[in-house]
Amino acid sequence: MGFPAANQLPLSYNEPLPTIHGRFESVVSAGPERIAVTDESLSFDYKTLNRISNALAKNLTDIYGAENIAIFHENTVWQVVSILGILKAGKTYVPLDTTFPPDRNRAIMQEAGTRLILTETGLTAKHQHFLNGFEVVCSDQFIDKHDVDAPEVAVCPGDRAILLFTSGSTGKPKGVIQTHENMVHFIGRLTSFCDIKPDFRFAHYLSTGFSAHALPLLAALLNGGHLMLFNVKKDGITAFTDWFTAQEINAALVLPSFLRHWLDVIEKGTTFPDLKLLLFGGETLYRGDVEKARKVFAPHNRMINILASTEAYLSRAFIINHDTPLVGNIVPVGYPVEGVDLVLRDEEGNDCAPGETGEIYLRSKYVSPGYWNNPVQTNADVVRDIWDNNLKTLRTYDKGVMRADGCVVHLGRKDHMVKIRGFRIDLAEIESVLLTEPEVKEAVCAVKQNYLGVEHLIAWIVPSTGHMPDLSFLKAKAAKVLPDYMVPSRIMQISELPKNASGKTDRTLIPEPEWNTADVAGQKELPIDDTEKKLLMLFEKSLQISPVGVTDNFLELGADSLRLFVAFNSIEKEFGRRIPVDVLLQHPTIRQIAGLILKPMTDEH
């Protein structure tokens, strides 16, 4: 039965589902004159977009034998032409990112086993260094091709459509496979849950290197909507607001980290009369984010927080109205969507009861068939159902908890679990605490080793606009709600967190703490007697760090190990007392060492 015409929304889930381009072509037939896609300089109706992509597809089938074809575009209409052309040719598109280092894109090309790239004329000179050595086809060269039908290529709904590479634990990009029917069903359940209409104007500002690029692109084009393209990396977030209102955007997917920056630049009094749907996903959404958003967006600007992944896309959703009560600091990812079941399992693989934290597993016909050229990980993480061979169970490595009413709260990744002093710590929990403070816009935590090889929990914060956070105060506030082993050794201020192409924080690029400088935030504890005064001068001179407080942990001050041992040696010279190094390391403040010095020698050890 397939899908009904575009004017018969919402989309049905009747099978057999069509291919992506098959669904697109049914939309073209229903409304060929409707505007399909617009960038800063060009606009195509559905008929024109279909014509150009047909010509490209014909060229790909006539000349090129590659099954996987890379696309290398900024957010222009030619990105859309390339995707449709590849799919119509029965091929698989492999997104690259124009902002990636060339070596990263080359690694993706190598892993995908292709040397063919689709791009556009305007990028060939700018990226000549990368493009040289590959076969390059510019999609814009087909703009004047007319009367070209789509090639007659047999494509099944279960065939591969997208090969999207993410970071992998091995250091090489990891390829996630998605099929036509998976993506069409994803748009079907998204359309149904979110009540997407054929007249929606979808904002698309995401990089194609981010798996979520498919949401606005397909949600618009498979529903007869209008895809509006914006290059936020070139034009900036302030211009984004002006563009958003001028183009009368109806729907957008917004990363929470992007939302925080966006809310900071939206001028007071700005309204969004045309906005009907604001989707949040890809990162943890906090109550503070929603509270700020409610001050900017009107009640008719409906907000929905979603759980989605490259392997499964939409799998849970939580509608946020202006009067939706929010319990806790983390906004839930919500309730079931059609076609995807979610279960939580403990470390032994048993189902979790409501209220128990566990790992999220997704059970559906429409999850990824697996990972490109990686049967080991595929067999481990994508398991066929023993009762129904059409169903697969995906291990997500995400943690969550299900409330009694079936609402799920996402609690971060299992791979953000660390150990400090033997205690297991979820970094997302610490970040959540820091983000409760209004002067903190973004926060990220990581474990770093100092020069002695000692692991320390470090937090980096980006201050909210107009704020100069007191880092010592933030640390004290965290200490009020977290166990001492979860309180960061240092909280460091940074102008912005490093982001990957998806807009998410890239923990691998977080700067190292400046171990060779003291944290001067807050009041330093002064010496109270001559012993502490002498030790203070000794440590500042030996470590070459100033100021040092008598209660500062010298293991966190950042001097290299040689300077630290010079300081220890100076203690013996100054006070005539030899204290074992391991004892000094167990008493890592000037005040504690002063106490050791003042003790009778018989009590020393």
Amino acid residing at 264: D
Cα 213 to Cα 230: distance, rounded to the nearest angstrom? 12
Give CATH for domain 46-155: 3.40.50.980
Q: What is the pLDDT of residues 422-476, one digit of tens each?
A: 455 778 888 988 998 989 999 999 888 765 455 678 899 999 877 888 887 888 8
Q: What is the pLDDT of residues 205-225, one digit of tens each?
A: 988 888 899 999 999 999 999
Q: Is 254 helix (H, G, I), strand (E, B) or coil?
A: strand
pLDDT over 50 (residue 6): no
Question: 272-292 burial, b if ≥16 CB within 10 A, otherwise e?
Answer: bebbbbbbbbbbbbbbbbbeb
pLDDT reported for residue 45: 97
Class (C level, CATH) for 530-603: mainly alpha
Q: How many CB atoms lie within 10 A of CB 30?
A: 16
Cβ atoms 397, 343 nearer than 8 A: no
pLDDT reported for residue 484: 67
Q: Which residues, in sequence order, are bridge partners of residue 334?
A: 408
Q: How many CB atoms lie within 10 A of CB 300?
A: 11
The residue that leads in pLDDT, 400 or 9, is: 400
Segment (H or E) for 396:
strand 392-402
Computed over every residue of the chain, the mean pLDDT equals 87
Q: What is the DSSP string of 527-538?
A: P-SHHHHHHHHH
Cβ atoms 369, 343 nearer than 8 A: no
Q: How many CB atoms lie within 10 A of CB 237?
A: 15
351's tokens: 């189902």
Per-residue three-class SS string for 415-477? HHEEEECCEEEEHHHHHHHHCCCCCEEEEEEEEEECCCCCEEEEEEEEECCCCCCCHHHHHHH
How sure is the predictor about 539, in pLDDT bands with cuts at 50, 70 and 90? confident
Give CATH for domain 421-509: 3.30.300.30
Amino acid residing at 392: K
The residue that leads in pLDDT, 466 or 593, is: 593
Write the CB contacts of 341 (distance below 8 Å, at least 6 apart in sequence): 362, 363, 364
Q: Where are the domains of the chain?
A: 46-155, 421-509, 530-603
pLDDT reported for residue 303: 97
Cα 338 to Cα 193: distance, rounded to the nearest angstrom? 9
Cα 244 to Cα 60: distance, rounded to the nearest angstrom? 35
Cα 405 to Cα 332: distance, rounded to the nearest angstrom? 12
The residue that leads in pLDDT, 207 or 408, is: 408
- Give the total residue count for the chain: 605
Q: What is the pLDDT of residues 489-525, one digit of tens each?
A: 788 899 999 988 777 788 778 888 876 555 544 567 8
Weakest mean pLDDT among 346-355, 391-400, 478-487, 491-500: 478-487
pLDDT over 70 (residue 401): yes
CA distances from 428 to 40, 260, 320, 483 (A): 38, 17, 22, 15
Largest interatomic CA distance in the chain: 99
Segment (H or E) for 490:
strand 490-493
pLDDT reported for residue 544: 63
Cβ atoms 155, 180 nearer than 8 A: yes
Q: How many CB atoms lie within 10 A of CB 17?
A: 25
Phi and psi at residue 124, to the nearest 5°: -65, -40
